[in-house]
Amino acid sequence: HGGREGVGLSNTRARLAQLYGEAATVHTASAPSGRAGVALAFPYTTAGAAHEGAPANAIELAETI
């Protein structure tokens, strides 16, 4: 990521890193038109399908999304 980063985006990066480590990514982009985009990627586990190595709260998170 480059440029200025606000509190919300840096908090999001920190929370995803805490929950998923290197398995989560946040990519930002801006266009000359002034528009901005954000892409979040992180492991998704459906309720009841937790697997070894998943965060302890993976099922809880899946149910709240």
Q: Are the C-beta atoms of residues 44 and 62 closer than 8 Å to each other?
A: yes
Q: What is the sign, positive or negative, of the torsion defined by CA atoms of 13, 42, 46, 53?
A: negative
Question: How far apart are the C-alpha atoms of 49 and 47, rounded to whole Å?
Answer: 6
pLDDT in tens, the chain (65 residues): 456 778 988 998 999 888 888 888 888 888 888 888 888 888 876 665 555 555 555 544 444 44
pLDDT at 30: 85
Q: Are the C-beta atoms of residues 59 and 48 closer than 8 Å to each other?
A: yes
The 8-class DSSP code of residue 9 comes to: H
pTM: 0.56
